Amino acid sequence: MRSSVIRSMGAVGAATYKEWAAYRSHMAVSLLVGPVYYLVQYFIWQAVYEGRDTLNGLTLDEMLAYFGIAAVIHYLIFDFADWNLQMLVRTGKFVTFAMRPMPHWLFALSQKLGHRTLGFWIEFVPIGLLFLFVFQVDLIPAHPWLAAASIALSFMMNFLVNYCVGLTAFWLVRAEGIRRVILLLKDITAGVFVPLSFFPEAMQKVLFFLPFQFITYVPTRVMLGEYELAGITLSAGEAVLMQLGAVASAWIVMLLVYRLALKRFTGVGV
């Protein structure tokens, strides 16, 4: 039973890998986009740090490392499960999945694994090397095993959050706008645009209890070696433990919403 699940996941992942390999030129755009964004950040923070050593507890080197690491992590955990799922629901194609012996969320997760395997070669490796050797970003984690665990957890967290956003399509068929707002807020509160320690103290307390920090902020801070938010300082190990708890809860929530969605699908026939 176990092995058959893994086999199906492998098959779905491999098919996705091949499907997307045909569009590798689309993916390779990241080789331009990633470094360009990093350059912008480089100039911004160079200017901002003029005449000062630290800003919100981070030195210039740490700040640049933050953006470099966040960018590289992005290529490992990138996800569009929300878009895919809402498209399946809107076009009525979801019905073909409702009839398969594999739950759709597992199918989507396998797809993401396949898609990111391709992204690993096309995006992560070349951009990582470029950042490491050309831009001299310190990408070597302080605690490699904890960093790997943290990135794996953020991979899951990103999937779970996006999949839940996609599941809203069962109730809100034409709400592309709402989903885009949620995803934008997700990126802001995950720390994609600026480290979360830049937000006002009160905001930081709210951000601490939202699931989004576990997508970008936590793994990036773990890579840097230490975690700090809302006045709470944690070691890398403690941060990963907290992340594990968050991912487990998010997984449970996703499964619950998934069950509700299927109930609605078979009951009302969205």
Establish if 29 lies at the interface with other proteins (CB under 8 A). yes
The answer to whether the CB of 224 falls within 8 A of the CB of 66 is: yes
Task: Count other C-beta atoms under 10 Å from residue 27's C-beta.
Answer: 18
**Residue 174 lies near other proteins (rule: CB under 8 A):** yes
> Does position 15 bind other proteins by CB under 8 A?
no
SS3 (DSSP) at 252: helix
| Per-residue b or e along 168-190, where b marks 16 or more CB atoms closer than 10 Å to that residue's CB | bbbeeeeeeeebeebbeebeebb
The nearest distance, CB 50 to other proteins, in angstroms, is 5
Are 103 and 109 in contact by the 8 Å Cβ rule? The answer is no
According to CB under 8 A, which one of 8, 49, 230, 241 is a site residue for other proteins? Answer: 49
Tell me how far, at minimum, the Cβ of 37 lies from other proteins, in Å.
5
Instruction: Considering the complex, state which of residue 53 and residue 101 has its C-beta at the smaller distance from other proteins.
Output: 53
Q: Is 241 in the site for other proteins (CB under 8 A)?
A: no
Task: State the Cα–Cα distance between residues 81 and 103, nearest whole angstrom.
Answer: 14
Q: Is 48 in the site for other proteins (CB under 8 A)?
A: yes
- 43 interacts with other proteins by CB under 8 A: yes
Longest dimension (CA), the chain: 64
Chain residues binding other proteins by CB under 8 A are 21-26, 29-30, 32-33, 36-37, 39-40, 43-44, 46-52, 55-56, 174-178, 180-181, 184, 188, 193-194, 198-200
